[in-house]
Structure 1
Amino acid sequence: MRKTLLALSLVAASAPALAADYSDDIHKNDYKFVQFNLMYALNEKPQAKSDSNSGHDYLEMEFGGRSGIFDLYGYVDVFNLTSNDNSNNDKGSDDSQKIFMKFAPRLSIDAMTGKDLSFGPVQELYVATLMEWDGGTKNNGAVNTQKIGLGSDVNVPWFGKMGLNLYATYDSNQKDWNGYQISTNWFKPFYTFSNDTFISYQGYIDYQFGMKDEYATSSNGGAMFNGIYWHSQHYAVGYGLKAYHNVHGIKDGAYGLDTNGFAHYFDVTYKF
């Protein structure tokens, strides 16, 4: 499933520029956000090989923030709002899901220990978790995973602050650990207008590896989202190009599915 990172504009604006420092006030970096994204996705993977130029609309509630030791990002997607019979997320289809949820709480190790653990480009360390669920069942290939690992915020030339997390994956459908995932995300404003609105390059990479043969047809796979967005205080409009390779560990062509290639995303956002 895809995810938007429009909310990183608020994260970037609120985040400290240097190493985290909680020696005087554990809540001094607190912030929160909620926004709604009205999306249209074209050729989202995986999709049936027979579904050429398939698309669907959906509404995404995106939220997150920081409170003391806790850093949170999450979203809930509700698919096919128009109940289009031709949508590849038609609620009447037996093999579709109407909803997808992702929650990614992180616990700051710096804040918990009261120590500055920064080194080199690493600004802050976290115990990182990630939970994904799409409301389907094991029999129709539903996503139901929990991930845990080490997270960080790193300072990268030009990009600035980026999240970088390494997880081990527990598959609740299989009741077993199944591989690892490395994830990174970025938000880079690169042109500001005279009215303080701006254009940003934003995106993420999720790459899975080490998946077991009995649970996946490919041991590795992932996706990269590249978005160009215009932002104002309360609105954003953007386009994203997402590249896929054996996404979700499904080898391209397995089960008659297309899991390689590109998808297009069109987005209008309102920020609360």
Structure 2
Amino acid sequence: MVTDRTSEPGGAPSPLRQPVMTRSSLLAALGVVAAALVPLQAAHAQQSADEESAAPVIEQETPAEGPTSPEQTADSPYLSDWYHQNLTAIGSKNIRFGPQQVDDIYLEYEFFGRKGPLDLYGYIDFPKFFGVGNGADSGIFDNGSPVFMELEPKLSIDDMVGRDLSVGPVKEWFVAFDYIFDWGHNTENRQNTLYAGLGADFDTGSPLGLSLNLYKRRQWENYGAANEHSWDGYRAQLNYSYPLGSFDNGASLVYVGFTNHDFGSDLGDKDPSRTNESTVATNVLLYQFTHLRFMAVARYFHNGGQWNDGVTAPFPDTHGDSFELRSTGWGYYFGVGWQF
């Protein structure tokens, strides 16, 4: 998650807005996330029944070993047996995708699931939806971006060719995409980026879910940056999740994480305030019931948004003063949502 704003003073591009939970709500990032988010209380109930030798319990599917979301039974409490959704109010602090740190409170609609060869993840953000943010923040109601979205579909190569292509620890191969769109009010405040490549899910022999995607980047609009309308660089994306436990009150606790490393760009060669590489590592704790869920996120940025940490920005801040770019450090998110 990030925040779009109106044009920075001096005609500088708006900062990039990105998901918290990328693939999240840092769910992301990911089929891995999707599996981790499926409620675990059914398994807990079954275990209790076995221990007490009680009457048989109708079993529901629980997360399998893979990163994809299992289909629910006919008794599923959700609207779809494979397409899972949630709506979350998120507060963010010290987000470093742009030249200035952004604080924002916004609304996010998130969706994910697996059906046939399609493994889908995505979200739509409505920036500054509640009218709260710092001076660098703008959004849907104050001439900022009304919508920021990310769509991450993967197509199973194994399913499409009808063969098991697993080898070693790799249990499934994918054609993977990551499309990011920020609908700024003009081209200087808009992003339009496609990552395309290959993905793999791994068998870890444990409850740990693990996947890796390698992308090449096609950059169209990018807030007026010098790499617009070009093929510019690559991204390595590692996604991981681990169920931490379930509780007597029906809640479950899940850790979800993902790391994006962008490299091989030429942007830093064209602009000394930018870099050719950038890394963002996201760590999420999800405490959730069947519908209600709580999210806490710590995200580490290294040259977030490919801004060169420590150099003087080539444009003034919102007060007309010069400032130093602070694109390396921690940012935080907290959210309350409803799964349906």
Offset at residue 252 of structure 1 (A): 1.3
Does residue 194 in structure 1 map to residue 248 in structure 2?
yes
Q: Is 1:221 the equivalent of 2:278?
A: yes
Output the CA distance in 1 between the equivalents of 2:132 and 2:251.
Answer: 35
Kindly provide the amino acid, as one letter, of the partner of residue 267 in structure 1.
Answer: G
Is the aligned partner of 1:115 residue 2:163?
Answer: yes
Query: Equivalent residue for 1:241?
Result: 298
**Cα offsets for 1:94-121 (capped at 9, x unmatched):** 6x43321000111110001001011122
List alignment gaps of at least 5 residues for structure 2: 1-17, 39-61, 69-80, 222-227, 314-323
Larger fraction in strand: 1
Q: What's the secondary structure of 1:110's corresponding residue?
A: helix
Is contact 2:179-2:195 (8 Å) kept?
yes
Q: Tell me how far 1:158 sits from its aligned partner.
A: 4.9
Matches within 5 A, 1:117-136: 117-136=165-184
Deviation at 1:33, TM superposition (A): 0.4
Amino acid at match of 1:110: D
Q: Which amino acid aligns with 1:67?
A: K
**Structure 1 unaligned runs (5+)?**
21-29
- CA-to-aligned-CA distance 1:75-132 (integer Å, 9 cap, x gap): 00001122236453323766x4332100011111000100101112211100001100
Give 1:157 shift. Answer: 5.7
After TM superposition, the score normalised by the length of structure 2 is 0.69
Structure of greater relative contact order (alpha carbons < 8 Å, 6+ residues apart): 2
Where does residue 202 of structure 2 map in the other structure?
A: 154
- Residues 181 and 214 from structure 1, CA distance in 2 versus in 1: closer, same or farther, beyond 3 angstroms? same
What pairs up with 1:1-272 in 2 under 5 angstroms?
Answer: 1-2=18-19, 3-6=24-27, 10-12=34-36, 13=38, 16-17=64-65, 31-48=82-99, 54-84=102-132, 86=134, 88-91=136-139, 96-136=144-184, 137-140=186-189, 142-156=190-204, 158=206, 160-173=208-221, 174-212=228-266, 213-214=269-270, 217-253=274-310, 255=313, 256-272=324-340
**Cα offset, 1:259, TM superposition:** 1.1
Give 2:122's aligned amino acid.
G
1:191 Cα deviation from its structure 2 partner: 2.2
CA distance in 2, matches of 1:97, 1:143: 10
- After superposition, the Cα gap between the structure-2 partners of 1:175 and 1:203, relative to the gap in structure 1 and judged at 3 Å, is same
* Residue 321 of structure 2: aligned partner: none
- Quick one: percent identity of the two aligned structures? 29
- Deviations, residues 157-197 of structure 1 (Å, cap 9, x unaligned): 65522221000000012221000001122221112212331
Q: How many residues align?
A: 258
